């Protein structure tokens, strides 16, 4: 077998037809990452002339990353081993210092209480990577930003209408919807110039949760990269059009993904995210999209998992994936790169604290200006 580089068109044609194809492994994401300064490689594994896998591998600073890839049939372990061997040789030839891989291979499907509904054998996949020298991150429960090991998914197959879908929600979710629906409406952004409406809600949620926000240009690049396959939506109050919550949706042949979202803290009691979650499922039903991916959660099924509590209120399945593997090719350079990254992250934290402080000052100044009586 041989690893070859693919064009965007060749890559997309293969990826979008595979059962484990996903938006992380898409030509659109390749475009986004190029704009973000990553070196992007679209790699295909060929068995003679037949393409058996496709992979979006990105690299920056010598560190390579494969998120929810490669896209392939993981039941054919011969191809998995061949891909690992070829991609390691590719990484060495490119003088990479490390490579991380998060395969889109399921270990289990669970209910909201963590009980296994269906299980899959991931032992052969794990063994293939470990035998090739990779370190396995293990059966982690933490939310992994690089590629989530746990995801909450709503399968809409078998539902005839929204009445049946809503009947699958928890009672408290249905009660919230009855209360807030008369007050809220959904607005879909029509121009890039409107993105700050949504970004502000995301920034406020990030600040509350101690998460570093993206620059506005990131959202603009997403808008450009996915085009008609993305939707930027906000929930707003009917009476004054004030933004309550916002969400970015990615449409893929296999699913729709709720990728980025946030709530305006002033209106958090209006439960805008609950309203948008319900709206998304209704929209999926209208479009014939049978899988709504509410994205990552912690694999902690205790009562303290607030994100799981929120998402499971909509009657979701919890998907558990095999997780991550890392191979360090140049230990000395890898340690140096990690130390450098830690320093940059510390500087970035200080920068964000300053940025948030400036925003607060400007808001106070604006508030003061609005309070001034300018009448004669």
Residue 31 lies in a domain: yes
Residue 89 lies in a domain: yes
- The answer to whether residues 126 and 184 belong to one domain is no
Residue 348 lies in a domain: no
Please tell me the distance from the alpha carbon of residue 294 to that of residue 277, in angstroms, as a whole number: 8
Q: How much is the pLDDT for 212?
A: 87
Question: What own/partner pairs with CB < 8 Å and gap ≥ 24 does 75-78 have?
Answer: 76/52, 77/124, 77/125, 77/128
Q: How much is the pLDDT for 185?
A: 98
- The answer to whether residues 202 and 73 belong to one domain is no
Q: Which of these three, 265, 289, 313, is where a domain ends? A: 289
In the chain, which stretches have pLDDT less than 70?
345-346, 348-376
Residue 260 lies in a domain: yes
Q: Which of these three, 264, 289, 314, is where a domain ends? A: 289
- The answer to whether residues 97 and 168 belong to one domain is no
* CATH number (domain holding residue 250): 3.40.630.30
- Expressed as residue numbers, the domain containing 38 is 2-105+116-140+324-329
Q: How much is the pLDDT for 211?
A: 87
Q: How much is the pLDDT for 369?
A: 45
- The answer to whether residues 249 and 120 belong to one domain is no
Total structural domains within the chain: 2
Q: How much is the pLDDT for 2?
A: 96
Q: How much is the pLDDT for 341?
A: 77
- The answer to whether residues 120 and 169 belong to one domain is no
Q: How much is the pLDDT for 372?
A: 43
* 262 contact partners, CB below 8 Å, separation of at least 6: 198, 201, 202, 203, 204, 205, 206, 245, 246, 247
Whole-prediction pTM value?
0.89
- The answer to whether residues 123 and 182 belong to one domain is no
- The answer to whether residues 86 and 130 belong to one domain is yes
Residue 111 lies in a domain: no
């Amino acid at each position: 077998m041989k690893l070859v580089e693919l064009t965007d068109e060749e890559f997309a044609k293969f990826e979008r037809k595979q059962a484990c194809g996903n938006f992380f492994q898409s030509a659109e994401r390749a475009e986004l990452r190029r704009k973000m300064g990553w070196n992007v490689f679209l790699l295909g594994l060929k068995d003679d002339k037949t393409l058996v896998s496709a992979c979006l591998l990105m690299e920056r600073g010598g560190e390579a990353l494969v998120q929810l890839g490669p896209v392939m049939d993981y039941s054919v372990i011969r191809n998995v081993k061949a891909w690992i061997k070829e991609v390691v040789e590719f990484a060495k030839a490119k003088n990479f210092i490390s490579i991380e891989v998060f395969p889109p291979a399921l270990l289990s499907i669970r209910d909201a209480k963590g009980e296994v509904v269906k299980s899959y054998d991931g032992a052969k996949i794990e063994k293939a990577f470990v035998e090739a020298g990779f370190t396995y991150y293990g059966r982690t429960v933490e939310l992994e930003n690089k590629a989530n090991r746990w995801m909450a998914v709503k399968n809409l197959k078998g539902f005839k209408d929204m009445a049946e879908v809503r009947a699958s929600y928890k009672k408290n979710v249905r009660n919230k919807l009855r209360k807030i629906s008369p007050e809220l409406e959904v607005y879909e952004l029509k121009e890039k110039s409107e993105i700050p409406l949504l970004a502000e809600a995301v920034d406020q949620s990030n600040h509350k949760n101690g998460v570093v926000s993206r620059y506005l240009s990131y959202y603009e690049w997403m808008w450009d990269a996915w085009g008609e396959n993305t939707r930027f939506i906000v929930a707003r109050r009917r009476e004054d059009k004030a933004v309550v919550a916002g969400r970015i949706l990615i449409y893929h042949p296999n699913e729709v993904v709720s990728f980025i979202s946030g709530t305006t803290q002033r209106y958090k009691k209006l439960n805008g995210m609950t309203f948008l979650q319900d709206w998304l499922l209704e929209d999926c039903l209208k479009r014939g999209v049978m899988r709504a991916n509410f994205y990552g959660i912690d694999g902690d099924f205790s009562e303290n998992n607030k994100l799981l509590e929120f998402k499971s209120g909509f009657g979701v399945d919890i998907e558990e994936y095999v997780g991550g593997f890392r191979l360090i090719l140049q230990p000395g350079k890898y340690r140096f790169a990690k130390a450098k990254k830690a320093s940059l992250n510390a500087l970035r934290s200080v920068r964000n604290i300053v940025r948030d402080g400036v925003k607060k000052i400007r808001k106070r100044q604006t508030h003061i200006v609005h309070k001034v009586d300018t009448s004669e």
